[in-house]
Structure 1
């Protein structure tokens, strides 16, 4: 009886492996259509092109209007914080808040720390640690800043 059970388990496993191989082969063949792949690639690229850190489009628009008040900045105001907007923000944090950020448009931990410093010491309600993590407190204070700048700097 024990030998029969082992045999049935082995046969079942072999059939499962074979069926899995066929299923993945079918998937590979079905995945050769170029249209869905290009649509996925395009949407992934669009998502990766900006990082609003939770701001609404209107709040991000406000941040961009604010940044454009500097003689050093001339960015498109479109409500999407892309690399040009983040370079402008990094430059602002360096000039006005004595940060030493690499002006590369990348929203990494150093940029988040600089932003947190500004949000904390600039009176925007950030009370958390300056840790380079864009958590809920950072996002809420940044949203408060974005909303205020829309009302003050955008026409």
Structure 2
């Protein structure tokens, strides 16, 4: 005999209530829980190092900078218009040699890298403070630098 609509509705409601309560005939819903993650989460530092930072350059301008870095500063990655870790490592080698960069060659364009870059960019129209902040003046001079490559 087929159960009536009222019977099926009651069974459905009871099933939902039992699952919500945590048991259905002694069976826990915990079996459906996701397994814990086994891979460690990336740290904020590793993410920032891997990110690209063009500081306002277009892809075409960044490709010109990468070409210059490849010619003079041992950049050997792809010329893709994305100034990533390897681009900034090559730039840091230049900045360390000529523009007072004293940090690690780590590819992270942090405050000290930007300060040295600002010193370089004084020859390309940068007139602001050497403060490590890649603001509008730094970005405009960086575009001038890229356009001269």
TM-score by length of 1: 0.61
Deviation at 1:71, TM superposition (A): 5.7
Which residue of the other structure, out of 59, 62, 73, is the alignment partner of 1:60?
Answer: 62
Deviation at 1:73, TM superposition (A): 2.9
Unaligned runs of 5+ in 1: 1-44, 150-155
Which residue of the other structure, out of 99, 115, 118, is the alignment partner of 2:117?
Answer: 115
Deviation at 1:99, TM superposition (A): 2.4
Structure possessing the higher relative contact order (Cα contacts under 8 Å, 6 or more residues apart): 1
Give the alignment's Cα RMSD to 1 decimal: 1.8
**Which is richer in helix?**
1
Q: Deviations over 1:88-122 (max 9, x none)?
A: 100111123242131111111111101001111xx
Are the equivalent residues in 2 in contact too, given 1:101–1:114 (CA < 8 A)? no
Q: Which moved more, 1:68-77 or 1:101-110?
A: 68-77
Larger Rg: 2
How many pairs align? 102
Alignment partners' CA distance in 2, 1:83 and 1:71: 14
Alignment partners' CA distance in 1, 2:103 and 2:124: 21
- Structure 1 segments, 4+ long, off by >6 Å, are none
TM-score by length of 2: 0.63
* Closer, same or farther: CA 109–54 of 1 in aligned 2, 3 Å: same
